[in-house]
Amino acid sequence: MLYAIIAHDQTDSLPKRLEARPAHLERLQDLQQQGRLVLAGPFPAIDSSDPGAAGFSGSLIIAEFDSLEAASAWAEADPYVAAGVYAEVDVRPFKRVFPQ
């Protein structure tokens, strides 16, 4: 089943984000190589694809996991969690309707 991982950044998280980014991307690449990643990316803190020093306000990952527990465990093991980038992480079942 698909799960949406919706993360909300701490205030002024950009330096921590940049430091932990390589390890975060490595985990996402693993999901992609397994064919389980639907999409992933950050929420810019301002209305710009390149927010510069404004940074990001959070992230969205939609991927396939065996269960809600497995998705939650994967999300909690994210390097951004360990680095203190995320203030909160919400994991929810996701039903894809479009595109088919």
pLDDT digits (tens, 9 = 90+) for 10-25: 999 999 999 999 999 9
pLDDT tens, residue by residue, 23-68:
999 999 999 999 999 999 999 999 999 999 999 999 999 999 999 9
| Block residue for tokens 């088919």 | 100
Dihedral angle of Cα 9, 13, 72, 3, to the nearest 10 degrees: 60
pTM for the structure as a whole? 0.96
71: which 2 tokens? 């998705």
CA atoms within 13 A on the CB side of 42: 25
CA 58/CA 56 separation, integer angstroms: 6
